[in-house]
Amino acid sequence: MNMKDYSELTDQMLGQLILRQDKLAYTEIYKRYWSLLYQHARRMLQNDEEAKNVVQDVFLMLWSRAPGLELSGSLAAYLYAAVRNKILNIFRKNKIANEHLASLETFIEQGENITDDQIRERELSQIIEKEIARLPERMQQVFLMKRNDNLSYKQIANAMGTTELTVKTQMTNALKVLRKKLGSANFHSAFPFL
C-alpha cells in the first residue's frame, strides 16, 4: 500500500493499522487531524504554543501507546478526548500553581510586614526606654508607676509620700519631655493610652 492509498482509508481502518504501529497510517492520521486538533486546543487554551504542545503530546502518546490502545469508538472521538484531557490537566496544574503562588505571595507579604513592624516596634521601644531613663529620678519614678503598675495619681502620691498635684505635675512634665524627644507621631504610637 502506498501513501495515496492510505488517504482513502476510513478512520476505523487507520485505527486498526495504528495498533500494529503502521507508520504510514500514523502519518495519515497526523495529516487528517493535526490542524483540527490544534484549532480545538487553541480555542480552549487561547495560547498558540500550548495548543501546539498539547497536540504534539497527543500524537506522541498515540504512537508510543499504539500497541496497547483500545479504540472501541471512533478515532476522532479518541483524539479529541485525549486533547481535552491534556488541556484539563494543564488547567488543573495552572490552578494549583496559581493557588500556590498566591499563597506564597501572601506569606511573603505578611512575613515582610510582620518583620518590618517588629523591627520598628523594637527600635521605638529602645528609644522610649532610653528617653525614660534620661528623665529626672522623681519624674521617671512617677511615669513608670503610672505606665508599668497602672497606679492612679492618688496611689502614686501615697506610695511616694507626696501630694496628688505633685504627681500630676511630674507626669505632665514627663509626657512633655517624651513628646518633644520622640516627636508627635512616635509619641502617639508609643503611648496610645494617653
Q: Per-residue pLDDT tens for 27-83?
A: 999 999 999 999 999 998 999 999 999 999 999 999 998 888 887 778 888 899 899
Q: 76 in a domain, yes or no?
A: yes
- Has residue 100 been placed in a domain? no
**120 part of a folded domain:** no
Identify whether residues 66 and 144 lie together within a single domain: no
Distances in Å between the Cα of 138 and the Cα atoms of 36, 131, 145, 146, 157 are 90, 14, 11, 12, 11
User: Domain boundary at 90, 121, 147, which?
Assistant: 90
- Cβ contacts of residue 66 below 8 Å, gap of 6+? 18, 19, 20, 21, 26
119 found inside a domain: no
Measured between alpha carbons, how far is residue 112 from residues 116, 117, 118, 119, 186 in Å?
A: 6, 8, 10, 10, 21
143 and 86 share one domain = no
Residues 142 and 75 in one domain: no
User: Do 81 and 140 belong to one domain?
Assistant: no
- Flag whether the pTM goes above 0.75: no
Q: Give the chain's length.
A: 194
Q: Is residue 107 predicted with pLDDT exceeding 60?
A: yes
Q: In the predicted model, is pLDDT for residue 109 greater than 80?
A: no
Number of structural domains (the chain) is 2
Q: How far is Cα 165 from Cα 80, in angstroms, rounded to an integer? A: 89
Instruction: Kindly state whether residue 39 falls inside one of the protein's structural domains.
Output: yes
Centre a 10 Å sphere on the Cβ of residue 103 and count the other Cβ atoms it contains: 10
Kindly report, residue by residue over 62-76, the tens digit of the pLDDT: 999 888 888 777 888
Expressed as residue numbers, the domain containing 145 is 135-194
Q: What is the pLDDT of residue 117?
A: 66
* Residue 108 located in a structural domain: no
Residue 126 to residue 129: CA distance in whole angstroms: 5
Considering the domain boundaries, does residue 97 fall inside one? no
Cα separation values, 192 from 129, 147, 186, Å: 16, 11, 10
Reading phi first (left if > 0) and then psi (alpha if -120 to 50, else beta), residue 110 is in: alpha
